[in-house]
Structure 1
C-alpha cells in the first residue's frame, strides 16, 4: 500500500507477512493459520523517546476521533476459479502517515492504511515469476482510517509520533478486522478470520 522515520511526517512504516495456503470450503484453498496474518513488528525508531517522555503522552492522551475515510475491494476471476489446485499466499500490510503533530496544542493525527491481499503462489513450471505474482493480487481489501488524539501534556514531537505508531495501529485494527469480515461474507471469499493483535 501506499516509510522512513527520518521523514518527519511521511509514511512511518510498513509491514507484512506471507504464508502458504490450506484447502478451504467451496473447493478454494485458503490459509487456516490465523497467526500467519500477523504482520512482523517493524524495527524501533533509531532514537526512541525516553520512557518518561513517552509515558507522559500515554497518561494524558485522549482519543478524539477515529473513522474510516475510504475503502476498496477488488477480486479477480482467478481467485474464485482456481479450484482445488489453487495455491495462494495471504498478506496483511499496514502503513501509517502522520498528518498533524502539534506539541503546543497537544494533539496528533494520522492516517492508518490497512490492506489484506491474496496472491497466487508461484509453482514450478509456472510462467509467472514470484515478483509478477506478488504484483498482481487476485483479491484485496483495503481501508483507510483517520485517528486523532488530543489533550496531550508536555509531550515531545518524537514521543507523540512514537505513541501514534504503537497505539494508532492497535486502535484502528479492530475496525479493519470487522470490515474484512463483513466483505468476506458479502463476497463469499472464504478468507480466514484475521487474528487479534496483541
Structure 2
C-alpha cells in the first residue's frame, strides 16, 4: 500500500499578511490573467540504494517561493517557486526531483507591489503544482522508480477581518 505524502511546508508571509487589504486583493483576483507557467530548472537524482532497499523510508514534498516581483508599467506579476519531491532512507535522500517554475500574471487593476506579489505567491503555487506533479511522475517513470502520486494542496482565501466595535 502506498504511503500518503504530505507537504512539509507552506507558502506564507505571516509578517506582512496583516498589511494585505482584502478589498484590493480581491479586486486583483477578479481581473488577474494567468499568462504562463514555465519550468525553468530541474534536477533529478536517484541512488542505487533506492532500488535495493526494502525500507519504506520517508517521503516528502517541499516547496517555497524564492523570488517575486511586480512591474507596474507592464502590469505583470512574477513569482518563482522551488519544489522538491524526495524519499529518504536513513536520513539520506535516495530519490529527489527538484524543480523551479516561474508563474506570470497580468494584473489589470490599480495595485501596489505588495498586493500584486501576495496574489502571485498565493495563487502561483496552485498554478504550477500540477505541472510539478506531472513532471515528478514522468521523471520517476523514466527512472523506473515507483513512488506514490503526490498529494494535492489547498490554500485558504484572504478574508476580511471582522472589526470589533468597542463601546465605552
Normalising by structure 2, we get a TM-score of 0.81
1:98 touches 1:108 (CA, 8 Å); kept in 2? no
1:42-94: CA deviation from partner (whole Å, max 9, x where unpaired): 44432321101111211121111211112121011111111x3x241111011
How far the C-alpha of 1:167 sits from its partner, in A, is 0.2
How far apart, in 1, do the equivalents of 2:28 and 2:73 lie?
A: 13
Identify unmatched segments of 5+ residues in structure 2. 155-168
How far the C-alpha of 1:104 sits from its partner, in A, is 4.0
Q: SS of 2:152's equivalent? A: coil
Listed as ranges, the matches of 1:73-152 within 5 Å are 73-82=44-53, 84=54, 86-121=55-90, 133=91, 136-152=92-108
Q: Does 1:163 align with 2:119?
A: yes
Which residue of the partner structure matches residue 187 of structure 1?
Answer: 143
Which residue of the partner structure matches residue 159 of structure 2?
Answer: none
Q: SS of 2:84's equivalent? A: strand
Q: SS of 2:40's equivalent? A: strand
What root-mean-square deviation, in Å, do the aligned CA atoms of Structure 1 and Structure 2 show?
Answer: 1.8
Which residue of the partner structure matches residue 17 of structure 1?
Answer: none
2:42 touches 2:99 (CA, 8 Å); kept in 1? yes
Aligned counterpart in structure 1 of residue 131 of structure 2, from 158, 175, 188:
175
How many equivalent residue pairs? 152
2:9 touches 2:62 (CA, 8 Å); kept in 1? no
Q: SS of 2:99's equivalent? A: strand
Which residue of the partner structure matches residue 160 of structure 2?
Answer: none
Aligned counterpart in structure 1 of residue 26 of structure 2, from 34, 52, 55:
55
Identify unmatched segments of 5+ residues in structure 1. 1-23, 25-30, 122-132
Normalising by structure 1, we get a TM-score of 0.70
